[in-house]
Structure 1
Amino acid sequence: MDVATYGQTGHHRYLIHALLTPSLLSCAFVTLEPQLACAQAIAQGTPLSTVNLEKSEKFSLPAQPLPEAINAFLSQTGWQISYPSSLAQGKMSSPVSGVMPPSQALRTLLSSTGLRARIISTNAAALMADPTNTAAYTPDGAIALGPVSVRGASESAWGPVQGFVAKRSATATKTDTSLVETPQTINVITAEEMERLKPKRLADALRYTPGVVSGVQPSTTYFDRIRIRGFYSINNIYQDGLQLTPSGTLAVAQVDPYFLERVELLKGPASVLYGQNGSGGLINMVTKRPTGETFQSGRINIGAYNLYEGNVDVGGTLRDRHFAYRIEAIARKAGLKGDYGTPERFALAPSLKWTPTQKTSLTVMVNLQIDPQGNSSGYLPSVGTILPNVNGRFRRYIYTCDRSYCDYNRKQASFGYDFHQKIIENLEFRQNTRLMYVDTNTHTLSPGSLLADQKTISRTAMYQTATTEGIEVDSNLAYRYALGPIHNSIVAGFDYRIFSSDNMTSQGTSAALNLDLNHPTYGNLTIPTLITRSDNTLIQEQYGVYAQDQIAFRKWRLLAGLRQDWARTKTDNYLTNSDSPQKDHAFTGRVGLRRVVS
């Protein structure tokens, strides 16, 4: 019966609604393009089961070996495809070009292979021999099947995490290991969690992590002053498994959390794999990398304390799909509580991943960052904050510097790559390298002692400039094998790092710089003559060899490692024309045991 004719009577209208409502609801939960298909089908009385509700995508897949073509299709669409591996051996795919639904693209890809796809669900399919292709059948008509492989997206220790809870990490072992099998505590802050927290620096991202004090000096914008289990961590901050910059210099690098896939906190000693580190733990930031998927995102944020921020994140693949790229950028200007200044940041982070074969990958990462404005307010005296003061308690957020004099400027750039080469099935070579450059200069008024009136502090005018240059390389071999029920994962490698820092500080003080904390006034400063107090070059060099074995036996996981380090530190003092070299070496071991509870 024609729907339009049937709907002319009043009581039949309810029946029409009952018939159409499920169809309309099924259309409401798909994107615009399938909704138009649904609407047209309903208007024409076409059964929805015959309507293609897939969203079309732009495909550009060249003819290539079938396993590689399937991998490229999976990377773009996120589908899951199961098939006997023997079916794909020695077959070449057909080229796919144009805008079409993924199912149509898959059929086109298989058109010259003698295979066909059976669609299991909206984003899953199984490959099988085409019945019309007699070459795929045995003489008796039975299909010869080999091992079935299922390919799909899964979490990697260096990749994105779905949600707040990560399941894998490489920080403690330098291998892609499940967290529940690692006999050391690791806290992971994922990109999705950071998206909710909106951190502006590393310390903000670790704000809710147990065992961490991140608000040591919250008014400081250019240092991440963090305590892990009571120990300072300036020297223990790593990015992609390599030390960011050493302490002992003003020229310390800082990575914006927007560029991070995850922040991992390894608690306890970590010297076996990384060399000299503090006892509290180690922070490792994992950089966002190309995913092989095509996406574009951008955002503009406006918030409290005159926050203005814009960011973009764009990714995709190049024409032959062996290259995947990602480009991220951020621009930010924000105020701080009180009159602490208006820190600014402009940063760009392009990256490119090259996968010529399934056994080889090279990811190149670049970071360019300028912080033309930053600030740091000094500490207030204990008398008037936590101790009694005859004038009463000082108000919070008193700015002890002066915007007419105090400023901070940092420029930093890094270039690095991550190379993986599978030599044989269970043996892989990996190399991680980064070059770092940081240049900073700052004018500041450093607060001194509280005077006898218990409301005035002395201040010292300071000018500091510093430059840090460094290179780091970590190379290792990873080998997996089994001896009966005992499974081993061995990592052996060599790492090297050297940083050179030039530092110069000039300072001077006078009564004209004193500040009344109860009634602070700013501007019209008379800066005394500054005298150079330090001028030196600091060289820090370290290299070491390490070996580690991860043993799995039933529900037990044993982690054992050894390392030998050699270190050299040299300070050239240009004021005294002297140098102070120092050489050290150390042998380190680590053993951990954990029982996995299923």
Structure 2
Amino acid sequence: MELHRQRFLFATLLTAASCGATAAAAEESSTTDPKATRQVQAELPAQQIVGRRQSGQYNASTSAGATKTDTPLIEVPQAVRVMTRQLVDDLSAQRLDDVLDYAAGVSRQNNFGGTWDNVAIRGFAGHEDSTMSMLRNGMPANRGFNAPRDTANLEQIEFLKGTMGALYGSSEPGGTLNLVTKQPRFTAGHSVEGYVGSYNYKRMAVDSTGPLNGGGDEAPTLAYRLNASVEDKDSFRDEVHSRRTLLAPALTWNATPDTQLRYDGEWLRQAAPLDRGVVVVNGQIDAVPVSRFYGETNVADTTIDNHTHQFFADHTLSEQWSLHGGLQLKRGTLEGFGIEQVPFGGPDCATSMNTRDWLCRRLRYRNFESRETSVQLEARGKLSTGDVKHELMVGVEAARFTQDRTMLDHAGGLRNSLGISVSNPVYGRVTYPPLSALNVNRNGTLKDNTRALYVQDVVSLTSSLRLLAGLRHDRATSRNTSINGSSSEQEPRATSPRLGLAWMIQPTLSAYASTGRSFRANTDRDTTGNFFAPQRGKAHEAGLKWESQDGRLSSNVAVFDITKTNVPTNLDPNTELYGSAMSVHNKGVEFELAGWVATGWRAALSYVYLDADPKVKQFARHSGSAFLVHETTLSSGDLVGLGGGVTHVGARQGDSDGQWGDTPVQLPAYTVAKLTAYWNATRQLRVSLDVDNLFDKTYYTSAYNSVWVAPGAPRTVIAGVQYKF
């Protein structure tokens, strides 16, 4: 019944979107410039606005998040990898996870049984329970509980390498993600997509945009965009079924020739079992099939609901100065039961798997809720001091975040009555014990209030030298109150500078060097119950950037050296308090190339050598990827594309390092291939076929300990039809 309701909702949304849109003749790119919408030009083809792109770019010349200015990327003194919508479409990426292997220095991490995104950049992953720093349209987006991101409403994904603390505050020194959503267009376009595939995969999506007023000689001033998707699928994992629904409306109103107001919303819901993966037996990682599930079939799904509302205002004061404001309201919930294998618990559970074919499990109920309000206000301007030109930005930011946590366990934490056979699991035969809030440190309320002031200047010293200087000061108050009434408080302060120099050797070739600092307030507590001091990061980077004359191909190479201190370690699994803090030092080299390499051929290549600190795990020394697509036009005029890719991740050690009393997991290297093909039968109709893990390789993406090992999916085939109108 739930699936029928979702399909009905999807059909209703599609009908409303298509009825509400009317054709107009405003330029597509006008969504970022209120004045440009007054210049009526020839209507752009709808396929350039909605749905899967064709013949587009893999490289981008600018980034919305790198400097918050229109500074070309070749002049920005840091590595920035922009995943364009064209690349996302060619990869048939429906999740953020699907693109990570194609960005140098980016790797997947523990995703809490498939309930959220967890990404590391240059070997820095952030906190295991709150994941890495992430932005949505330049505003903080990853605090609280967020289901894995859907790509249906994303225009591009920006991997901002290196420290971004001087611009965005609390973050990782390895880098930050910025998710840029699709915006309303003043030219009408609509797209419907349907997919079916392996493991009963079913997905439908709609993308609709256009003006809501205007007509005749009157230029439109109000436009909408609606992205929606419904997904229902089984899994290569036994007994695992998931459902997802996304609804993302957006509005743009050019209130005056100098003022633009925008709303960008998102509702995302996911329901799926908590799945901790497979287990290692007697040190053998492939002792059990990758399909084997060690949860239970009669335990309710873990459901995640995310509501995001963003409001933006841009006002032009003069040709040189403008104001930008942003307000974000977020709410996230995670609720459900989970019966999962346990990584600790004494000799009976630590050794039974190897001696008696028996795996201990625990039952937990989680009810987490987070609420966040954040505000940004910025003044941006251009000025000159003699022959030196400046792009100046001054901003303030404030945020209030509250997180309520309820986690219930059964007495003792471990029960053999909840155990299961490793080699022959039988489901539905356990009796569930009563639950109570046993772990005091996991139950309570966290409240954070932050304020920040930041300034940035992009200085054109000469025609060939660009200086980027930034500084941000953050002040915060944080209070963590447990259910027993005990509390801890902290008032972290941090000043984060950033300095970089880019030398334009030629208009299409630059060399750069940069340095910067970052911080991240610790929400973990030591054995005395007090917060650890904030984590501090320091990053140095140098590199070369090149771009073809026509801007259709670009590449960069970067070397980096990053240190982070005050990283909590030595976790006590019973109290979930940390005993000490450590420093981490990572360094490496990255290479990336993206764009049109020849007529009809577009490619995306990446490679990273990462010399990660031995104290951190999950990071391969060598990894890389290659993706190539060839497009050709048949004599009939039909467009046909055929391509493929390969990703390689080197050997690495799992995350636990024996802290749970088990043997550290050694993850073998893997290389997997994919195939993609599409046929544009008409201007409106497109058919696609994607095959992931083409040669059906067995591989493992991460391991938190010896009983929480995440396997990669076997060969998966998905066929799709896309129609534009």
Answer whether TM exceeds 0.5 for this pair: yes
Q: Does the Cα contact within 8 Å between 2:278 and 2:290 map onto a contact in 1?
A: no
Displacement of 1:335 after TM fit? 2.1
Distance between the aligned counterparts of 2:148 and 2:166, measured in 1? 25
Amino acid at match of 1:369: L
Relative to 1, partners in 2 of residues 1:340 and 1:185: Cα closer, same or farther, differing over 3 Å?
farther
Relative to 1, partners in 2 of residues 1:58 and 1:263: Cα closer, same or farther, differing over 3 Å?
closer
Displacement of 1:415 after TM fit? 1.2
Distance between the aligned counterparts of 1:267 and 1:174, measured in 2? 15
Relative to 1, partners in 2 of residues 1:517 and 1:384: Cα closer, same or farther, differing over 3 Å?
farther
Q: Which is higher, the Rg of structure 1 or of structure 2?
A: 1
Q: Give the corresponding residue for 1:300.
A: 194
Q: Give the corresponding residue for 1:471.
A: 373
Amino acid at match of 1:241: G
Relative to 1, partners in 2 of residues 1:367 and 1:75: Cα closer, same or farther, differing over 3 Å?
farther
Relative to 1, partners in 2 of residues 1:309 and 1:239: Cα closer, same or farther, differing over 3 Å?
same
Displacement of 1:478 after TM fit? 0.5
Deviation per CA, 1:274-322, whole angstroms, max 9, x where unpaired? 1111121101100111021100100111011211000101111022311
Aligned partner (choices 294, 318, 343) of residue 212 of structure 2: 318
Distance between the aligned counterparts of 1:519 and 1:180, measured in 2? 57
Does 2:352 correspond to 1:452? Answer: yes
Displacement of 1:353 after TM fit? 0.3
1:456-535 pair list within 5 angstroms: 456-508=358-410, 509-533=414-438, 534-535=442-443
Aligned partner (choices 464, 473, 476) of residue 555 of structure 1: 464
Whose helix proportion is higher, 1 or 2?
1
Whose strand proportion is higher, 1 or 2?
2
Could you tell me which runs of 5 or more consecutive residues in structure 2 were left unpaired when the two chains were aligned: 1-21, 27-32, 215-219, 343-348, 508-725
Relative to 1, partners in 2 of residues 1:432 and 1:591: Cα closer, same or farther, differing over 3 Å?
same
Between the two proteins, what is the percent identity of the paired residues? Answer: 24
Could you tell me which runs of 5 or more consecutive residues in structure 1 were left unpaired when the two chains were aligned: 1-56, 62-66, 80-152, 155-159, 387-391
Q: Give the corresponding residue for 1:221.
A: 114
Does 2:263 correspond to 1:364? Answer: yes
Displacement of 1:71 after TM fit? 3.9
Displacement of 1:166 after TM fit? 0.9
Does 2:400 correspond to 1:400? Answer: no
Deviation per CA, 1:563-583, whole angstroms, max 9, x where unpaired? 111011111112x21221111
Q: Does the Cα contact within 8 Å between 2:262 and 2:313 map onto a contact in 1?
A: yes
Displacement of 1:342 after TM fit? 1.5
Q: Does the Cα contact within 8 Å between 1:384 and 1:394 map onto a contact in 2?
A: no
Amino acid at match of 2:443: D
Distance between the aligned counterparts of 1:308 and 1:177, measured in 2? 42
Displacement of 1:453 after TM fit? 5.3
Q: Give the corresponding residue for 1:242.
A: 139
Q: Does the Cα contact within 8 Å between 1:447 and 1:460 map onto a contact in 2?
A: yes
Q: Give the corresponding residue for 2:185.
A: 291
Does 2:474 correspond to 1:565? Answer: yes
Q: Does the Cα contact within 8 Å between 1:264 and 1:283 map onto a contact in 2?
A: yes
Q: Which moved more, 1:368-377 or 1:489-498?
A: 368-377
Q: Does the Cα contact within 8 Å between 1:75 and 1:293 map onto a contact in 2?
A: no
How many residues are paired up? 449
Q: Of the two structures, which has the highest relative contact order with CA contacts closer than 8 Å and spacing of 6 or more?
A: 2
Q: Give the corresponding residue for 1:257.
A: 151
Distance between the aligned counterparts of 2:480 and 2:240, measured in 1? 34
TM-score (norm 2): 0.59
Displacement of 1:69 after TM fit? 10
Q: Give the corresponding residue for 1:373.
A: 272
Does 2:228 correspond to 1:329? Answer: yes
Q: Give the corresponding residue for 1:439.
A: 333
Displacement of 1:340 after TM fit? 5.6
Displacement of 1:532 after TM fit? 1.1
Does 2:67 correspond to 1:173? Answer: yes
Partner of 1:258: helix, strand, or coil? coil
Partner of 2:102: helix, strand, or coil? coil
Distance between the aligned counterparts of 2:450 and 2:280, measured in 1? 39
1:46-445 pair list within 5 angstroms: 71-72=37-38, 74=40, 77-78=43-44, 162-214=56-108, 216-217=109-110, 220-233=113-126, 234-246=131-143, 251-320=145-214, 321-339=220-238, 341-378=240-277, 380-381=279-280, 383-386=282-285, 393-445=287-339
RMSD: 2.6
Relative to 1, partners in 2 of residues 1:340 and 1:74: Cα closer, same or farther, differing over 3 Å?
farther
TM-score (norm 1): 0.71
Q: Does the Cα contact within 8 Å between 1:400 and 1:515 map onto a contact in 2?
A: yes
Distance between the aligned counterparts of 2:192 and 2:333, measured in 1? 29
Q: Give the corresponding residue for 1:582.
A: 490
Relative to 1, partners in 2 of residues 1:507 and 1:380: Cα closer, same or farther, differing over 3 Å?
same
Distance between the aligned counterparts of 1:207 and 1:479, measured in 2? 38
